[in-house]
Structure 1
Amino acid sequence: MKTVLVTSTAESTGKTAVALALAKLAAERGLSVGYMKPKGTRLQSNVGKTLDEDPMLARELLGLDAEMHDLEPVVYSPTFVEQAIRGREDPDDLREGVRESFETLAEGKDLMVIEGGGELTTGGIVDLTDADVAELLDAEVLLLSRYERGGDVDEVLAAADDIGDRLLGVLFNAVPDGSFDDLETEVTPFLEGRGVPVLGVVPREQALAGVTVAELADELSAEQLTDAPADAFVERFLVGAMSGDSALRHLRRTKDAALITGGDRPDLQRVALEAPGVKCLILTGGFRPPGAIVGAAEERGVPVLLVQSDTLTTIERAEDVVRSGRTRDAETVARMRDLLHDHADVAAIVGGEAGGEE
């Protein structure tokens, strides 16, 4: 049996989509596949019953007959972390629990796909970093990374050093078009010369990189004040706490962004409507903007969303939506399956015979 652990240099690099897409590709190649996420990190509650949606999605998409407590033996919540720091969690007991769950899930399988938690170092307080888990479960490690500039290679090399001989290779995910040439002609030969195989370069797709304004409005329970189309994608957020002049200079340099500001800041709202990279305004505190702002937004086709929550709460909720929410679903996994099929060395990662849909 082969075991592959999917980890990353940072959060939000697509571990769930890649892990499940690899499992689907392996099944197409005739392999019996299992899945596990030892540390549940994507929680909606700090305590109590596990609410990590990744193992639940895996169980559904892969047709697994497995208990949640095996798929996710450690609920890595803030409460758990606090208890571990106080010495109330035994690392040896936790490791044994992970190993026992793995053995249960791996019985009769040709391949086990292990999804890392958060990032490579998550779990260090109980000796369960992804590198520790790989050692515990005798897994090879697929390292995910983003790439936009040469300095990103530093993180890849540092992670490769932490993983050691278990490193299977690195997969660059969501790579912008402008970075492909550097990756192929300079970065890949450099990394392979340092003993780090590059197993894929997956292009960035906007539908997988952000959320639409409509999805954002739904998640924030926002009221849309304009009839402007809400199908534009948002990938980042700007906080409106600056003067109009400095805001305009900053806003003109951004793209695919939403401005989050108080509804009582018409000066900033007016400036934001002049910036082509601002795809929507999110006004907080329940303050309705002047009619002139709504009219200008309508004219420019910019949606204006009104929320009742304060600015800080809205920022946290919005960033969580973009980071980990609406794009984790069956459609995302299907699209990632196609991307990996076309842009990654699937055979080197999962093994098995080529087959399935082309």
Structure 2
Amino acid sequence: MTKTILVTATEESTGKTAVALALARLAKERGLSVGYMKPKGTRLQSNVGKTLDEDPMLARELLDLDAEMHELEPVVYSPTFIESAIRGREDPDELREQVRESFESLAADKDLMVVEGGGELTTGGIVDLTDPEVADLFDAEVLLISKYGQAGDVDDLLAAANDVGDRLAGVLFNAVENANFDPLETDVVPFLEGRGVPVIGVVPRERDLAGVTVEDIAAELNADVLTNADTDAFVERFLVGAMSGDSALRHLRRTKDAALITGGDRPDLQTVALEAPGVKCLILTGGFRPPGAVVGKAEEKGVPVLLVQTDTLTAVERAEDVVRSGRTRNAETVERMRELLHDHADVDSLLGDVAATEESEENEE
């Protein structure tokens, strides 16, 4: 009988894809035949049309799956689809049946099915396909991923665990800062387990998995790189420059691993930003080329300067989408997450009761 684990999260950008695929890889290493599915395609390349989610495409490659994309991703959960559903043009019962049929086809002859949730726990509610509802449909156990920054985050986690109910296999805290390890392990984990919420593991934050490189941003924004500075620095946050030079310097000195997005016609702010060690690159908007003195100083400081033709608001939205979607999701990301799960999570509690079928054992030989 196939065991199914649905990987979901309390919020977006918690590392679901990396965890789901890493878990699948760990299962394959144990000789299990493993399938994958993402019922709701949410990480789309376009907002319109029958566009594809990038996560199932990566899964198909890394797990050597021969399934068709329409099976791996039966519902393209695009803004167009959502608007259509709200207008009553999508039948939830028909969609559920379509999703169930795809799942049963993919799960045939598999020891384990790893199902990736979409967006966050509640995504899909308008067509009765939230992650808890999908878990019920597939008779799946649920691995709930959460971040942890402060004690108040436990409120959201408990609410999510309550939504999942008895199907909860456990919670995995991902991308945890070093400073938060002790309060988690000393206070939060015992508290949760005392409330009947098992904690599978606490995975430390890895810088390479948390941000995107300047090179990634430049490619996504179709930017002209005006300097010869290295573009391999990691960026985790964006600052919008619309303030005076003096107040900007005070603010910029308190930030780290940031990119400043400002108009190309603000050389005063650009010059100030180059004095802040936490600013890893400048993104200049509106197609205005900065003065040569700014480019020269950026070269001297080793700070890349990116020039884009779009306005500042558009640049901010696209840049933040790069960080949110995580352009670093690739084979290397999944392999690093596999190592982290092996070292910091109780994988046995998730996979320990899955027995490889004779057929899958023969396939491994």
Instruction: Specify the code of the residue in structure 2 equivalent to 1:2.
Output: K
- How far does the alpha carbon of each residue in 1:244-297 deviate from its partner, in whole angstroms, 9 at most, with x for none? 233222222211010011100112112211222111100011111112212222
Find the counterpart in structure 1 of residue 343 from structure 2.
342
| Cα distance between partner residues in 2 of 1:259 and 1:349 | 43
Whether 1:158 and 2:184 are equivalent positions in the alignment is: no
Find the counterpart in structure 1 of residue 361 from structure 2.
none
CA contact (8 A) 2:49 2:80 kept: no
CA contact (8 A) 2:255 2:279 kept: yes
Instruction: Specify the code of the residue in structure 2 equivalent to 1:50.
Output: T
| Cα distance between partner residues in 2 of 1:265 and 1:331 | 39
Given the superposition, is the C-alpha separation of residues 353 and 181 from structure 1 closer, same or farther in structure 2, using an over 3 Å criterion?
Answer: farther
235-244 or 23-32, larger mean C-alpha shift: 235-244
Whether 1:56 and 2:57 are equivalent positions in the alignment is: yes
Find the counterpart in structure 2 of residue 120 from structure 1.
121
SS at match of 2:121: coil
Whether 1:281 and 2:257 are equivalent positions in the alignment is: no
Within a 5 Å distance, the mapping from 1:235-274 to structure 2 comes to 235-274=236-275
| Cα distance between partner residues in 2 of 1:214 and 1:46 | 24
181-190 or 287-296, larger mean C-alpha shift: 287-296
- How far does the alpha carbon of each residue in 1:301-321 deviate from its partner, in whole angstroms, 9 at most, with x for none? 211111112212211221121
| Cα distance between partner residues in 1 of 2:347 and 2:17 | 16
Find the counterpart in structure 2 of residue 76 from structure 1.
77
| Cα distance between partner residues in 2 of 1:28 and 1:11 | 28
Deviation of residue 155 (structure 1)?
Answer: 1.3
| Cα distance between partner residues in 1 of 2:355 and 2:153 | 34
SS at match of 2:243: coil
Deviation of residue 7 (structure 1)?
Answer: 0.4
CA contact (8 A) 1:29 1:353 kept: no
SS at match of 2:90: coil
Runs of 4+ in 1 over 4 A off after TM superposition: none
Find the counterpart in structure 1 of residue 302 from structure 2.
301
92-101 or 235-244, larger mean C-alpha shift: 235-244
Find the counterpart in structure 2 of residue 185 from structure 1.
186
SS at match of 1:100: helix
Instruction: Specify the code of the residue in structure 2 equivalent to 1:280.
Output: C
323-332 or 257-266, larger mean C-alpha shift: 323-332
Q: How many residues align?
A: 354
Deviation of residue 353 (structure 1)?
Answer: 7.6
CA contact (8 A) 1:18 1:333 kept: yes
Find the counterpart in structure 2 of residue 329 from structure 1.
330
SS at match of 1:292: helix
Find the counterpart in structure 1 of residue 172 from structure 2.
171
Q: TM-score, normalised by structure 1?
A: 0.96
Instruction: Specify the code of the residue in structure 1 equivalent to 2:258.
Output: A
Deviation of residue 213 (structure 1)?
Answer: 1.3
Q: TM-score, normalised by structure 2?
A: 0.94
CA contact (8 A) 1:144 1:173 kept: yes
- How far does the alpha carbon of each residue in 1:148-206 deviate from its partner, in whole angstroms, 9 at most, with x for none? 21121111111001111111111011111111111111111111111111101111111
Find the counterpart in structure 1 of residue 207 from structure 2.
206
| Cα distance between partner residues in 2 of 1:254 and 1:140 | 40
Instruction: Specify the code of the residue in structure 2 equivalent to 1:205.
Output: E
Q: Over the residues paired in the alignment, what is the CA RMSD in angstroms? A: 1.4
Once the two structures are aligned, what percentage of the paired residues are identical?
81
Find the counterpart in structure 1 of residue 217 from structure 2.
216
